[in-house]
Amino acid sequence: MEETIKLDQFLKLARVVHSGGEAKILIRSGAVQVNGVTETRRGRKLRHGDVVHVHDLELVVQVEPDEE
């Protein structure tokens, strides 16, 4: 199964925002793009290799599978 991460969680892990509420506001403001398309859904599932633009940052998603 392909590993994913939600956009709001990714922004927190990348330290772009400090909280889920802050992520929600940022995403809904239209300031976040995923693969060149403005994204307003905080639950948008990101996959390995997706590119997230926010402010002047370009972040590439790297999702590693859980080890069992």
pLDDT digits (tens, 9 = 90+) for 27-50: 999 999 999 999 999 999 999 999
How far is Cα 14 from Cα 18, in angstroms, rounded to an integer?
Answer: 10
- Please give the model's pTM, rounded to 2 decimal places: 0.88
Answer with the residue of higher pLDDT: 68 or 52. 52
Instruction: Report pLDDT for 57.
Output: 95
At residue 68 the predicted structure's pLDDT band, cuts being 50, 70 and 90, is low
Residues sharing a CB contact under 8 Å with residue 28, sequence separation 6 or more, in sequence order: 40, 42
For 8, half-sphere exposure in the C-beta direction (CA atoms, 13 angstrom radius) is 14
- Residue 65 counted as domain residue: no
Q: What's the CATH number where 29 sits?
A: 3.10.290.10
* pLDDT exceeds 70 at position 51: yes
At residue 63 the predicted structure's pLDDT band, cuts being 50, 70 and 90, is confident
Residue 48: domain span: 4-60
